[in-house]
Amino acid sequence: MPGSSKKDKAPEQISMIMFLSRGTSLSKWEGLGILDREKVPISKLAEGLGQMTLLSYGLDEKTQGFDGIKVLYNNKGIPGIIYSMLIPCIHARELNAHALYKVYQLTGVLPAIVSKLLFRKKLYVRLGFLQSIYSKSVGTRMRYVQAVGLEWIATHMADIIVVTSDYAKKRIVDGYKVNPEKIKVIPNIINLEVFRPRPEIEKQRGRICFLGRLAKVKNLFSLIEAVAGLPVSLVFVGDGPLRKGLESHAQQFGVDLKVLGFVPNEDAAAEICKSEIFAMPSFSEGNPKALLEAMACGVPVLSTDIPNLQEIINHGENGFLTRSDTASIRSCIIEILSLRDKWPEIGEKAIKTIKCNNDMDKNTKTELEHIYSAFDN
């Protein structure tokens, strides 16, 4: 058991099933260009546990790159909602054979809770972001109420909870009256071998990059309006339901915008390093990997001044914070452009932040210690 004073009470190895988010599969991750991003920390955690199985919503999953990790999936082609309900029955044998169920995000929690009750196993809920905050920012009142209810159930049923910020932990403890002892703050892991400064890649002057899903919460229409008339261009690395609308909006405002779609991890790192600024002016975020990856590359970052991101960025030191309205985003971009001579220093501080908070070995060790501590009791 890693780093525990109660090693004799805990199992030497723990077998864990990781429930992916509802509707998520390895094939989907591959299509989004994030399979390699997710694969590395999952494999690292599996090494520390001894045995791990992934439970996917895919119809025909490939396991390449996941050596020693079994993948359970929807090989009967059952409609997704029905499959979610039947997971405890379809995969009963495997579920009963494992000691711990980890939920990758909140949307995968219900079949895991049912499985916990049926097979009397421990439940580990990871909340990369709080769905209630997201729903309050860009969702409907009904979605917000549903998210609050699901978070309450999940956090009270869980034996282990991991969140990515102190703000999220405080919200859970204060709002849902959950024992803080079972909550651990572990920021997202960044692969520093991929996301690093690349001096061999030539910067494109005035290039501002965004990486992620093209969705309402990302506030990209405001970003387009904010740069209109400035000597800059935009590159969006990603795809989503707003792609055509964003391209049309950029044309309307005379903004040079290229949308590249989803790209593999290595290519995403190169696109960040070609850019002079990385922008993520979202209405709501958790511990956004794309922002952290840009900081790891030493690129000046712009993000929204919200509690989670205030824990990461000190304005003018290792990045820049702004309000989410168009005028504020524009003012922040102008400020960043005026500080060109300070970019190397800001980039170095950003890299130091990521090495301190998002190191794979350190954060995996912390996660393993938190997992094993639940079996000490």
Q: pLDDT tens for residues 130-167?
A: 989 888 887 788 989 999 999 999 999 999 999 999 99
CATH number of 207-357: 3.40.50.2000
- Residue 24: its pLDDT value, please? 92
State the sign of the Cα–Cα–Cα–Cα dihedral 25, 28, 34, 39. Answer: positive
Q: Which two tokens stand for residue 171?
A: 């919200």
Given a cut of 70, whether residue 42 has pLDDT beyond it is: yes
The mean pLDDT value for 318-333 works out to 98
CATH number of 7-189+359-374: 3.40.50.2000
The Cα-based distances of 161 to 2, 148, 164, 177 in angstroms read 18, 16, 10, 13
Contacts of 266 (CB under 8 A, 6+ apart): 36, 194
Asked if domains 7-189+359-374 and 207-357 share a fold, the reply is yes
Given a cut of 70, whether residue 108 has pLDDT beyond it is: yes
Q: Are 32 and 68 in contact (CB under 8 A)?
A: no
Q: Which two tokens stand for residue 341?
A: 């001579």
Given a cut of 70, whether residue 297 has pLDDT beyond it is: yes
Residue entry with tokens 């004073």 = 5
Q: What residue segments make up the domains of the chain, in order of their start?
A: 7-189+359-374, 207-357
- Residue 377: its pLDDT value, please? 63
First to last CA, the chain: 14
pTM over the 0.85 mark: yes
Question: What pLDDT band is residue 64 in, cutting at 50, 70 and 90?
Answer: low
Helix then strand then coil, % of the chain, to nearest 5: 50, 15, 35
CA distance 222 to 199: 31
- Residue 330: its pLDDT value, please? 98
